[in-house]
A and B are shown apart, each in its own frame.
Chain A
Amino acid sequence: MGRGVGSRSGGGAAQPPWHSLPDEVWEHAFSFLPAAADRGAAAGACRGWLRAERRSRRRLAVANCYATSPRDAVERFPSVRAAEVKGKPHFADFGLVPPAWGAEAAPWVAAAADGWPLLEELSFKRMVVTDECLEMIAASFRNFQVLRLVSCEGFSTAGLAAITEGCRNLRELDLQENYIEDCSSHWLSSFPESFTSLETLNFSCLDGEVNFAVLERLVTRCHNLKTLKLNNAIPLDKVASLLRKAPHIVELGTGKFSADYHPDLFAKLEAAFAGCKSLRRLSGAWDAVPDYLSAFYGVCEGLTSLNLSYATVRGPELIKFISRCKNLQQLWVMDLIEDHGLAVVASTCSKLQELRVFPSDPFGAGQVLLTERGLVDVSASCPMLESVLYFCRRMTNEALITIAKNRPNFTCFRLCILEPRTPDYITQQSLDAGFSAIVESCKGLRRLSVSGLLTDLVFKSIGEHADRLEMLSIAFAGNSDLGLHYILSGCKSLKKLEIRDCPFGNKPLLANAAKLETMRSLWMSSCSLTLGACRQLAQKMPRLTVEIMNDPGRACPLDALPDESPVEKLYVYRTIAGPRSDTPDYVQIV
């Protein structure tokens, strides 16, 4: 915290004129700093700016719901209109965090209801949101407009009904990959007939049926509807009808897209899509029916985003389709596209910024012909490519070095070689050289996931060169404590570190304890940690919460265990709120 502006001693030097400016002027000035990091920096300059900034902050992002108490956050930033809160650690997405771990949204909703009556937007990610939370949201904020729930659970369609019924000014209802219990309540019908403000409706993750007539009426009367993402219950011919009612749509998710070929259905779809001149983003669970793809040809040219990660379409039809999408910026696709498909992407999509390739058969024998070649081609020909997530079965150092040379502008590079510890398939060496090339070349790299056979040396490179790296994911890599030490003693900007199945032990953790307070969180599972080190860490660093997770089957009190007991899962994060009180049996805070 900077010292107070007026405390400068000085013989006779007049204070600069801006010191007497009222707070409102500063607040207005800060409104031109949209980035939270910039606002935070301004707030650190002096008490006056701190006061002005925090009172005028409109958007708040809490990246770890346990880093602060909800009440504190609400008190500190009383004017917030839009809040985003994230809960469980990232590895919860892959089943590494048992159920009932925590991250309840309820305390946040309650605090917001008390302190932010003018709240307009709320976004929760990886949290437990109950129907009661949704009811409270609907009842507490008279101008509530945007609800975004990503990878959440704990609520049902009854809770959704409370939102649709109660939020008269709702603009966005965005449900991404949540587990929603279908209680068959007519949440869609709960939108009043007079309600017309909807701009975004995404219910793609909902399992149950929806009343199509109600949906159609809703779509017809909401003239500002820009984003519509349907679920699997809506068949193709109904999609065509909806499109005719909402031709101004910008983003469409088709839900299930599999049907036997009928020429009249094809004609209907083609005509409907031809009318959608504003369509830019397309997604859906296209189930291996290439016959209908050509119905989309009319919109291909305008598409900037294509999400086919749930589409099992393969072969020439897929490639023909993508080859028409010259303006694509974002492409998510299955590895069914294969190398020659990516070669087409490389030559067609010169504006591509983000590519994600998912494994269609992660546990299978590996029949798909997607190799390092595809990624090399795309990196060579797409000059704006900066974000990659790539699942494949083989890689070489040479390919990675070429990719690094081609694309020094990567900000996010995530490579997942399906079989752990796979070496360079030609030289049988580790992939140290390849990943080192990536971090040396891509100076702006913010996110990195490594895989394949890797020794401690790659972490030396990462620690030394990855100055802007904020998030690092490591699995089945390294050979000793040194690996972790290189990371923690380097990587100046590291915020999130998640590690699984690596031979990293206690020493580097304790030697770099102070580093952990500069980071948001650290996850380590199936490494070589023992309880004693965790105890020491907790003692040394009171502003860190050190959580240990045991096998849910046996809840053994930590105090009874000796120092040498192995720790299966460790989650460490900085917090100003002290240890949380809602831990389940299998989580213990050291």
Chain B
Amino acid sequence: MLVMAECKASAACWPTRPDLSTDLRLGLSLSTSLSSSSSLQAAESIPSMPRNQVLLSWPPIKPFLRSALAASASRRRRQQTLFVKVYMEGLPIGRKLDLLLLDGYDSLLVKLCNMFKTPITYADVYQQQVPGVKAAHFLTYEDQDGDWMMVGDVPWNLFLTSVKKIRITRTDKC
């Protein structure tokens, strides 16, 4: 009869490691949907993996490397900057601002109001949140096509990818 060593300590000493069962379920649900698709027989017609459905068991790299990469990726993100020029209409000298230090439109507004000492607003909808305080300025930006747009219409992350310059424009000009 085989002597099974009692693994009493092993249950308690389970090492901290990425929870692969969750990864697995995500991976499982994605691939089950692929394999149950009737179009599976003609591989040519299968669309390539949608970008937002990251299969956590792919690409085939070992967990130690995977977690090392994740750690260095988050370190890299902290080191990145996105400085844009900010001009206030009427002032010839502009300022520079690192947008990656902010986490959204609200903090952008607060930061700029502090920088330029004037109430600023952006898309119309936000004026309703502060009734009675009609800002003299509102926020516009130049995008990668060179067009001047109202700040606040697109999600913050999308804004970060397209903003080139920011301009604080007077309301009465609009």
Chain A residues proximal to chain B, CB less than 8 Å:
69-71, 91, 93-96, 98-99, 104, 106-107, 109-111, 128, 130-133, 136, 151, 153-156, 158, 177, 179-181, 183, 205, 285, 287-288, 309-310, 312, 358-364, 391, 416, 418-422, 449, 453, 455, 473, 475, 477-480, 500-501, 503, 525-528, 551-553, 566, 568
Shortest Cβ distance from A479 into B: residue: B43
Chain B residues with CB below 8 A from A422, complex form? 48
Give the total of B residues in contact with A, Cβ under 8 Å.
Answer: 50
Q: Are B35 and A95 in contact (CB under 8 A)?
A: no
Question: Quick check: is B158 within 8 A (CB to CB) of the other chain?
Answer: no
Given the known interface contacts A95-B20, A503-B40, the answer about A358 and B27 at a Cβ–Cβ threshold of 8 Å is no
B21 in contact with A552 (CB, 8 Å): yes
**Interface pair A110/B5, CB less than 8 Å apart:** yes
With a cutoff of 8 Å between Cβ atoms, the chain A residues found around residue B58 in the complex are 94, 420, 475
Q: How many A-B residue pairs have CB under 8 A?
A: 161
Chain B residues closer than 8 Å to A183, beta-carbon distance: 13
Contact at A310–B59, with CB atoms within 8 Å?
Answer: no
Nearest A residue to B4, CB-CB: A106
Alpha-carbon distance A69/B73, docked complex (angstroms): 45
**For residue B3, which residues in chain A have a CB less than 8 angstroms away from its CB?**
107, 110
Q: How far is the CA of A96 from the CA of B42 in the complex (A)?
A: 25
Beta-carbon contact of B35 and A285 below 8 Å? no
Asked if A285 meets B24 with Cβ closer than 8 Å, knowing A181-B13, A479-B43, the reply is no
Interfacial residues, chain B to chain A (CB-CB below 8 A): 2-10, 13-18, 20-21, 23-25, 27-28, 31-32, 34-36, 40-44, 46, 48-49, 54, 56-65, 68-69, 72-73
The answer to whether A98 and B21 touch across the interface, beta carbons within 8 angstroms, is yes
Q: Which residues of A contact B40 (CB under 8 A)?
A: 503, 528
Selected contact of A551 from candidates B25, B36, B60, B65, CB within 8 Å: B25
Select one of B5, B7, B24, B72 contacting A312, CB under 8 A: B72
Could you tell me if A95 and B43 are in contact, using CB atoms closer than 8 angstroms?
no
A309: B residues at CB distance < 8 A:
65
With A131-B10, A358-B61, A391-B59 given, is the CB distance from A526 to B32 under 8 Å?
Answer: yes
With A70-B2, A312-B72, A421-B48 as contacts: A99 and B54 at CB distance below 8 Å: no
A residues less than 8 Å from B69 (CB atoms): 359-362
A525 to B55, CA, bound (A): 14
In the complex, given contacts A98-B24, A109-B5, what are 6 additional A-B residue pairs having Cβ atoms less than 8 angstroms apart? A95-B27, A132-B7, A151-B62, A177-B62, A419-B48, A566-B36
**Contact of B10 with A95 in the complex, beta carbons under 8 Å:** no
Alpha-carbon separation in the docked complex, A156 to B13 (Å):
7
Chain B positions within 8 Å of A362 at CB level = 59, 61, 69
The answer to whether B17 and A153 have CB atoms under 8 Å apart is yes
CB–CB A363/B49 < 8 A: no
Is there contact, CB below 8 Å, between A95 and B17? Answer: no
With a cutoff of 8 Å between Cβ atoms, the chain A residues found around residue B20 in the complex are 95, 98-99
What are 27 sample pairs from A and B whose C-beta atoms fall under 8 A apart?
A70-B2, A71-B2, A91-B57, A95-B56, A95-B63, A98-B24, A107-B4, A110-B5, A128-B10, A130-B10, A132-B6, A132-B8, A158-B13, A181-B13, A183-B13, A287-B72, A309-B65, A312-B72, A363-B54, A364-B73, A419-B49, A479-B43, A480-B41, A503-B35, A503-B40, A528-B35, A528-B40
Cα distance A419–B25 when bound, in Å?
21
